[in-house]
Chains A and B, each alone.
Chain A
Amino acid sequence: MTEPLLSMNALSVRSGETVLVNATDLEVAAGERVGLIGESGSGKSLTSLAVTGLLPESLRASGSVRLAGVETVGADEQVLRPLRGPVAGVVFQEPLTALDPLMRVGRQIAEPIRRHLGLRGSVLDRAVSDALAEVRLDEQRFARAYPHELSGGQRQRVAIAIALAARPRLLIADEPTTALDVTVQSEVLDLLDRLVAERDMGLLFVSHDLAVVARMTDRVLVLQHGAVVEEGAVREMLRAPQHPYTAQLVAHARVLDAALDGASGPEGAR
């Protein structure tokens, strides 16, 4: 039997005595799309950071996280480095903080391609152009641009190009569209959707937004106070949530969703 691409067993994350993530189990099979839903403080970002060993130094992880069969909890940089990029790529909420402000976009994309795929010279230049074209930044000027010269949506496309440069088998996306305008969000979600499908990647998609998670994933885990309270198929969970907390999340999301259909609204609330 083959091991899942990502397999998390009883992962806990502590800050001193405080438990931030409590005994979380999670699996993502090759090509599978899994959503991690929760509100602020639920531990969803910490859970996703732990996968590639990116937790802040002040926090302690215990339990097991195996990425393509390699244990990442407690692993040192030598073990983690070859995993970051070729096995798992990560996209964060705020592309400005993920990009180097002083480096041209083309070089930032070239770096992981050079390191992990060993390309050099004109072949590398071609690979950078191809990577930018894949995220629909076709024009030559984008490779020459600095991050601050791009819009928020363009920056996130660059961050996606960097995350995918070393052809990872798993994409971890932590609130990748939360900082974007709604029309830009829609374009970036389309892009992620297409790339994940084309490359048959696994996807771990972290978000507070039920509608976005429902669009991007098939199976979801709901986190509350660092623990998984419910897990299942997205549509089924939206239709018949089992845990009271999930039911509450779905009900609140439905209020705002229904308002768009005129089903509620200021008149209805009176």
Chain B
Amino acid sequence: MTVLEARGVDFSYGKRRILTGIDLAVEAGGSVGIVGESGAGKSTLLSLLLGLAAPGRGEIRFDGAPLVLRDRALMRRFRSSVQAVFQDPYSSLDPRQRIDRIVAEPLESLGLARGAEALERVRAALESVGLPADVSRRYPHEFSGGQRQRIAIARATVVRPRVLVADEPVSALDVSTRTQVIELINQLRADHDLSFIMVSHDLGAVAATCDRTVVLEGGRVVETGSTGGLLAAPREAYTQRLISAIPRLPSA
């Protein structure tokens, strides 16, 4: 079953067309990587999929029905089901809030839990991302980049969403932290049957997390397919160029 979908989506900023005719769907439990270079429209597409803006043409569909940003009941359901993690764990966590408040925030704003129940869910969420319970009284600046990204993932998963949407979640991280956060995402996906959408310029990170890949160039989908198939036998010239440009380790 399709959980989240873009159908024939166009989007413009003023007169500048950013996205044209985008079709993309993620199934329950499935995963899609959106790859492309700067200016391809990756982040704009993600903001549409997150209901942060509305497409000029076409529609974003959630659970088989169009997403209507004005429909507050629908959007509340949507926010409880679709959560996001962003690139920069330094700017995405409020520096003045303790970790437990940060992670509890979506529970409170969506009216899902409060008091002792909220605390318990925060504790469980922090545990599930591999952070000890005693982090909850500390502040974001006390943590490394990788730990902060874990906190951001705890905040996204505390509402038990069905879809996790991530915008370059590991790009700002060191290589060893990067693979650990990727492992965590894969673990959470398997444990909670999460659907996953990730925007990244890093095809290695996409290959390690996403079953399917969509290649964007100049605001259009140029190729889409299983990640393995696309990497092994890219059909479009642009995809071939993208893949051959990836720096590779010399074989052992």
Tell me the count of chain B residues lying within 8 A, CB to CB, of chain A. 40
Min CB–CB distance A114 → chain B (angstroms): 34
Known interface pairs A256-B208, A260-B204, A266-B189; A152-B176 also in contact (CB < 8 Å) = no
Task: Give the contacting residue for B201; candidates A182, A186, A189; CB below 8 A.
Answer: A182
CB of A209 within 8 Å of the partner chain: yes
Q: Does A182 lie within 8 Å of B242, measured CB to CB?
A: yes
Residues of A within 8 A of B244 (CB): 186
Most chain B C-beta atoms within 10 Å of own C-beta, residue among A239, A248, A249, A255: A255
Known interface pairs A238-B250, A253-B175; A259-B145 also in contact (CB < 8 Å) = no
CB of B137 within 8 Å of the partner chain: no
Residues of B within 8 A of A214 (CB): 247, 249-250
Q: Does B242 lie within 8 Å of A40, measured CB to CB?
A: no
Complex Cα gap A249–B252 (Å): 15
Of residues 200 through 224 on chain B, the ones whose CB sits less than 8 Å from some CB of chain A are 201-205, 207-211
Complex Cα gap A40–B89 (Å): 15
Min CB–CB distance A64 → chain B (angstroms): 30
Chain A residues touching B, majority SS: helix
Task: Give the contacting residue for A256; candidates B178, B186, B210; CB below 8 A.
Answer: B178
CB of A193 within 8 Å of the partner chain: no
Min CB–CB distance B21 → chain A (angstroms): 23
Q: Does B245 lie within 8 Å of A210, measured CB to CB?
A: no
Known interface pairs A181-B201, A238-B252; A266-B31 also in contact (CB < 8 Å) = yes
Complex Cα gap A184–B39 (Å): 13
Complex Cα gap A29–B160 (Å): 57
Residues of B within 8 A of A208 (CB): 174-175
Of residues 234 through 250 on chain A, the ones whose CB sits less than 8 Å from some CB of chain B are 234-235, 238-239, 248-249
Complex Cα gap A266–B213 (Å): 13
Chain A: which residue is nearest B170 at the CB level? A256
Min CB–CB distance B210 → chain A (angstroms): 7
Known interface pairs A208-B174, A209-B247; A255-B208 also in contact (CB < 8 Å) = yes
Chain B residues touching A, majority SS: helix
Known interface pairs A181-B38, A210-B249, A214-B249; A266-B186 also in contact (CB < 8 Å) = yes
CB of B241 within 8 Å of the partner chain: yes
Proximity string of chain A (185-229) to chain B, C-beta cutoff 8 Å, 1 when within and 0 when not: 110010000000000000000001111101100000000000000
Complex Cα gap A50–B203 (Å): 35
Min CB–CB distance A163 → chain B (angstroms): 21
Min CB–CB distance A63 → chain B (angstroms): 26
Q: Does A182 lie within 8 Å of B179, measured CB to CB?
A: no
Q: Does A260 lie within 8 Å of B207, measured CB to CB?
A: yes
Min CB–CB distance B19 → chain A (angstroms): 18
Min CB–CB distance A247 → chain B (angstroms): 11
CB of B190 within 8 Å of the partner chain: yes
CB of B120 within 8 Å of the partner chain: no
Q: Does B203 lie within 8 Å of A252, measured CB to CB?
A: no
Chain B: which residue is nearest A234 at the CB level? B250
Task: Give the contacting residue for B176; candidates A215, A252, A261; CB below 8 A.
Answer: A252
Q: Does B186 lie within 8 Å of A269, measured CB to CB?
A: yes
Q: Does B249 lie within 8 Å of A254, measured CB to CB?
A: yes
Residues of A within 8 A of B250 (CB): 214, 234-235, 238
Of B56-64, B91-99, B227-235, which stretch is located at the interface?
B227-235
Q: Does B232 lie within 8 Å of A266, measured CB to CB?
A: no
Of residues 147 through 187 on chain A, the ones whose CB sits less than 8 Å from some CB of chain B are 152, 181-186
Known interface pairs A39-B176, A181-B201, A209-B247; A262-B208 also in contact (CB < 8 Å) = no
Complex Cα gap A39–B31 (Å): 29
Residues of A within 8 A of B243 (CB): 260
Given A183-B37, A257-B248, A260-B207, 8 other A-B contacts at CB below 8 A? A182-B201, A208-B174, A209-B175, A214-B249, A256-B207, A262-B227, A266-B186, A269-B208
The 7 closest A-B pairs by CB, nearest first: A256-B204, A211-B247, A259-B207, A186-B245, A181-B37, A39-B174, A269-B186
